[in-house]
Structure 1
Amino acid sequence: MRVGRGVAAAATVLALGLGAAACNDDVSSAPASASSSSSATPGGVGAAASGTSASGGTVSTRCHTADLKADVQLQPDHPGSAMVMLTNKSPRTCTVHGYLGYGGLQADNSPVITGSSRVAHPGKPVEVSLKPGVSAFSGLKWTSCDKADPTCKVLAGITITPPDETTQLTANLLGVDAKPVLQLTVSHAGFTVGSLQPVSQGVVFTS
């Protein structure tokens, strides 16, 4: 009987030892699981931040052709020269920057192709913010010609393409008396086009 009690006690001690070892194995596995979970979290946050950034955008404030009207005012002291006034007729503020494109019209409104060259006159183009009713300015010059010359372009009107636009508007072509000009002769060289500026000072070609 004494021997039986000793064996029983030894068995009890052995069982307790095994139970303690099992508990230690469970605890040691817990940090590995937590570590795996935390390493996945930054990846999820990063993806969300990238998506938010990609969804951002800017709205263009460029003036479109439909926003604008143009007046081409011949200059009394400089034949073959005009001041061009590009005015925002829309209810929103918009911007223009660069050079205007030019074409001609015949009396029946059919297009006339005219050559043109750009000159940084009176300086490089300036981005101009146009509030409703406000104008940007540029210079325009050409050489008149004899209508009998087959290379002479006889224009009944002028079309203008605003910067970065693909559609045209018909300008008001005004004489030195501010009355409409019904005919303009332009040599085969076409127009020399100045840069758009926020003020009219200096934009007229004087030579």
Structure 2
Amino acid sequence: MRWSRGAAAAATVAALALGAVACNDETPAAPAPAGSAASPAPSGAGGPGAGGGPSATGGAARPTASAQAGGRCRTAELTADIQIQPDHLSSAMVLLTNSGTRTCTVQGYLGYDGLQADNSPLRLATNRVAHPGAPVAVTLKPGTSAFSGLKWASCDKSSPTCHSVATVVVTPPDETTQLTARVLGTDGKPLTEEMLAVSAAGFTVGSLQPSNQGVVFP
């Protein structure tokens, strides 16, 4: 009988111990001490530039691609060369070159006007064509070029509808100011006295491209 009472007592103690453990499991964790902070997320969790702050290594955040590019190219940062083609004397390849000190971007079409021999303005019609394809954004590092095609119908300079263009003036995409283009002959040298004879139809203009492949009009 004494053994039975002792066993019962031991069983009761074990049950109480188990109940205490269960209660401890359900007890919520104590709050963190005042002034403690949550662990930071990994530096790459939000993608480059997501937070705009310093990186996990303590250095400055890396700039985004648009910040590195520096925005669109301005007229004062560009030069334009019109290279007349040997097999197509009324067709040219245009090189728009970044002559500045920063990387910038161009996209779209060049605008064209002209000057007569006395420097009076000459309005020329332009027809934009997605040749050799639709315009693409071209990022220009200093000294590099974007390319496009240009063609026109020649005419008799004595004709009243023929435009004798002494100087070609170019407007870069999204700009409102112009630059004077150099017109290069088939030998690659600037034309100094010869004028372009452009019909009333004016210029046909191709889109700016990152490569010169295919930009020249046939």
| Fold in common (TM above 0.5) | yes
Instruction: Indicate the residue corresponding to 1:73 in structure 2.
Output: 83
Q: Which structure 1 residue ranges, 5 or more long, are not aligned?
A: 1-57
Letter of the 1:138 partner, please give it.
S
Tell me the equivalent position of 1:160. 170
Question: AA paired with 2:126?
Answer: S
Across the aligned residues of Structure 1 and Structure 2, the Cα RMSD in angstroms comes to 1.4
- Provide the TM-score with structure 1 as the length reference: 0.70
2:216 counterpart residue number: 204
Rg larger in structure: 1
Partner of 1:106: 116
**Structure 2 gap ranges (5+):** 1-65
Q: Aligned partners of 2:180 and 2:146: how far apart in 1?
A: 17
Is 1:116–2:122 an aligned residue pair?
Answer: no
Superposition deviation, residue 106 in structure 1: 1.2
Distance 1:131 1:180 in 2: 25
Identical aligned residues as a percent: 67
Equivalent AA in structure 1 for residue 182 of structure 2: N
SS of corresponding position for 2:149: strand
Alignment of 1:22-171 (within 5 A): 61-171=71-181
How many angstroms apart in 2 are the aligned matches of 1:76 and 1:204?
A: 11
Structure 2 residue matching 1:102: 3-state secondary structure:
strand
One-letter code of the match for 1:186?
Answer: V
Do residues 194 (structure 1) and 216 (structure 2) align? no
Following TM superposition, the consecutive aligned residue runs of length 4 or more in structure 1 with deviations greater than 4 angstroms are none
Q: Which amino acid aligns with 1:115?
A: A
Counterpart residue type for residue 106 of structure 2: V
How much does 1:149 deviate? 0.9
Q: Following TM superposition, by how much is the alpha carbon of 1:157 offset from its aligned partner in structure 2, in angstroms?
A: 1.2
Q: CA deviation at 1:148?
A: 1.3
Q: How many residues align?
A: 150
* Distance in 2 of aligned mates of 1:179 and 1:62: 30
TM-score in terms of structure 2 length: 0.67
Give how far 1:108 is off.
Answer: 2.4
1:150 Cα deviation after fit: 0.5
Match of 2:63 in 1: none
Residue 95 of structure 1 and its aligned partner are, at CA, apart by: 0.3
Quote the offset at 1:179 in angstroms.
2.1
